[in-house]
Amino acid sequence: MKYEDSKAKEKVHTDFREKMTYGEYLDLDQLLDAQNRLSDHHDEMLFIVIHQVSELWMKLILHELRASIESIRGGDLQSAFKMLARVSKIQTQIIHAWDVLSTLTPAEYIQFRDQLGQASGFQSYQYRMIEFALGYKTPHVLKIYEKNPELHGKLQEAYEAPSIYDAAIEALSKAGLDINPALVNRDFTETYHGDETVEAAWTNVYENVEKYWDLYQLAEKLVDIEDWLQQWRFRHMKTVERIIGHKTGTGGSSGVGYLKKVLDHRFFPELWDVRTNL
Ligand code: HEM
Ligand SMILES: N[C@@H](CC(=O)c1ccccc1NC=O)C(=O)O
């Protein structure tokens, strides 16, 4: 039994459902007691809340992505569309969070930045699991968690699992489109970089929409997700530039230069290339 499930059961048994309150159901004592500032600077509260809200939304994104991968692999594309549409809407929420964070000025941030030590969003394991679920497998990220076996195990599992794009490629193949067989059983720990048979298959789908309506819809849902993820990355990079300029990051990277470089990575390359082919 998963931890979440056992906790829910315990709640029902001990509280008798009718007596359970709003705060108990949502564990608000715990949730609202977790904004612990390291400085007494007013704006540190904003910094903490934005991160916590983003991590909560990431939790839901992962929940939806994992289930949609299972649905695609099981041939139930309609359920996957519903969940992927939800992922896109969540992404718009976390993109808008940058508008709130942009109210933090460099002069304000610098007053509590030192307190953050070497902590950095670089260490967000949920963000990495999202990247893994979308097929961007960066092995150096696993190293960060070597000293935490529980998290390392979870990340390793996500690292080895087929991504949503692997599931989509399998769906292309199952629909009778000619896909390089080596791709279907490939080493999923490798970041996917593109394949001619996949590009030809997507081109076929886009040219024969009425025949491949489901695959066409799947493609467009994936484009939505990559589009929004790139917009999130871009807003992060620009917000960082306006707050810390070109200072090096607390995580040890070059900062803005590094965040710009990450923007080069494409998750579903053929879905972008196909647009040129049509
Ligand atoms: C004042 C606000 C912020 C600044 C100055 C900032 C700065 C940075 C910098 C410089 C990096 C590069 C790694 C490093 O050397 O530290 C980074 C990475 C990252 N940050 Fe932020 N960040 C901010 C807010 C946020 C927020 C609100 C989130 C949301 C969870 C976030 C998530 C991440 C993630 C996931 C990475 C890793 C990106 C990657 O490796 O592709 N950051 N951040
Ligand atoms: N990397 C940031 C620090 C930072 O943003 C941060 C620090 C602790 C917890 C989350 C953070 N957010 C995202 O990177 C910096 O260099 O200022």
Q: How remote is the CA of residue 52 from the centroid of ligand 1, in Å?
A: 13
Q: Are residues 84 and 7 in the same domain?
A: no
pLDDT confidence of residue 64: 98
In sequence order, the 6+-apart residues with CB closer than 8 A to the CB of 248 are 254, 255
Q: Are residues 253 and 201 in the same domain?
A: yes
pLDDT confidence of residue 1: 44
Structural domains counted in the chain: 2
The answer to whether the CB of 120 is under 6 A from ligand 1 is yes
Q: Are residues 266 and 129 in the same domain?
A: yes
Among the bound ligands, name the one nearest to the CA of residue 238: 1
Q: Are residues 16 and 142 in the same domain?
A: no
Structure tokens at 71: 């649905």
The answer to whether 164 is a known ligand-binding residue is: no
Q: How remote is the CA of residue 119 from the centroid of ligand 2, in Å?
A: 6
Q: Are residues 191 and 58 in the same domain?
A: yes
Residue 268 belongs to domain spanning: 42-277
Q: What is the pLDDT of residues 46-63, one digit of tens each?
A: 999 999 999 999 999 999
188 has pLDDT over 80: yes
Q: What is the CB neighbour count within 10 angstroms for residue 182?
A: 10
The answer to whether the CB of 230 is under 6 A from ligand 1 is no
pTM above 0.80, yes or no: yes
Q: Which has the minimum average pLDDT: 143-147, 159-163, 224-228, 231-235?
A: 143-147
Q: Are residues 17 and 106 in the same domain?
A: no
Q: Are residues 28 and 50 in the same domain?
A: no
pLDDT confidence of residue 77: 98
Q: Are residues 215 and 233 in the same domain?
A: yes
Q: Are residues 181 and 212 in the same domain?
A: yes
**Average confidence (pLDDT) over 256-275:** 97
265 has pLDDT over 80: yes
pLDDT confidence of residue 2: 53
Q: Are residues 266 and 226 in the same domain?
A: yes
**Which atom of ligand 2 lies at the shortest distance from residue 113's CA?**
17
Among residues 70, 62, 91, which one has the least CA distance to residue 221? 91
Q: What is the pLDDT of residues 57-85, one digit of tens each?
A: 999 999 999 999 999 999 999 999 999 99
Q: Are residues 20 and 132 in the same domain?
A: no
CATH number of the domain to which 170 belongs? 1.20.58.480
Q: Are residues 122 and 92 in the same domain?
A: yes
Q: What is the pLDDT of residues 225-256, one digit of tens each?
A: 999 999 999 999 999 999 999 999 999 999 99
Model ipTM value: 0.98
**Which atom of ligand 1 lies at the shortest distance from residue 127's CA?**
35
Q: What are phi and psi of 15, to 5 degrees?
A: -95, -10
